[in-house]
Amino acid sequence: MGLPVWQIDGALAALVVPASRLEHEPRRRRLATGLEALDAQLAGGWPAASLSEIAGRRSAGRTSVMYASLGAAIERGQTVALVDAAGVFDPRSAEAAGVVLSRLLWIRAAGRGVVLQAAELLVAAGGFGMVAVDFGDRPPRVPDAAWLRLRHAAERQGTAVLVAAPWRIVGAVAAAAVVMHGAHPRFVSVGQPLLAALETRATVERMVGTSLPPTNEQTLCFSAHPVTAPRQSP
């Protein structure tokens, strides 16, 4: 026997969540990014058991933030993985950022379906503190339903999922979103000018569960790989 219309309406109303409540989820535990300035902007770091994204054009610092976040997770004793959609993983840069390569599960994947399937399988397996997904410079279009599945899996397993792409692609499904802006090189003069560091700006564009910081932009500085200056002949 079916329910009367008025009871059906009441049952549906009980399941409806007003949009205004979606931005006020309970505060989640924060996971340090490995960068103190960015942690301050994110009220302590990336939200645990959530889907977050880091966006920025090439050389803007998004990969450096991703590596630093993986390194910080390893330092906390967490198991981490990287799904590499474009084959751009740089072991030397990752190591310089604190990633212990022997403790990183690196998966080379290609194609939208394969990348997200790999990420979902890793998260669903359980035991990972952080799973990063690097889409490189040409991310595919991803339907919102796919991001929702990945977010729900992250919430169930307590895994922080970090998506890196040139621009924001996760949208409103992300619990936190940071956008990196063009980097400026810093040089030192030791004989010939040498690249010492890259200075970039990070803007927090989304942070569910807490208010955005009053100063929503922070300058970050990433050291270049040490370079030994050529010795002068006596």
**pLDDT higher than 90, residue 63:** yes
**pLDDT higher than 60, residue 195:** no
When divided into structural domains, the chain yields a total of 1
User: Is 70 within a domain?
Assistant: yes
**pLDDT higher than 80, residue 24:** no
The CATH number given to whatever domain includes residue 169 is 3.40.50.300
User: Is 10 within a domain?
Assistant: no
> Is the Cβ–Cβ distance between 162 and 52 less than 8 Å?
yes
Range of the domain at 111: 26-177
Summary mean pLDDT of the chain = 81
Cα-flanking dihedrals φ and ψ of residue 75, to 5°?
A: -65, -30
User: Is 220 within a domain?
Assistant: no
**pLDDT higher than 50, residue 166:** yes
* Segment 87-116 mean pLDDT: 92
Cα separation, 12 vs 160, whole angstroms: 32
User: Is 173 within a domain?
Assistant: yes
| Portion of the chain with pLDDT greater than 70, in percent | 71
User: Is 133 within a domain?
Assistant: yes
Residues 6+ apart with CB under 8 A from 184: 198, 199, 200
User: Is 234 within a domain?
Assistant: no
User: Is 41 within a domain?
Assistant: yes
Residue of 8 and 71 predicted with greater confidence = 71
Residues facing 221 on adjacent strands = 199
* Segment 28-51 mean pLDDT: 92
DSSP E strands, 61-119: 79-84, 104-108
User: Is 169 within a domain?
Assistant: yes
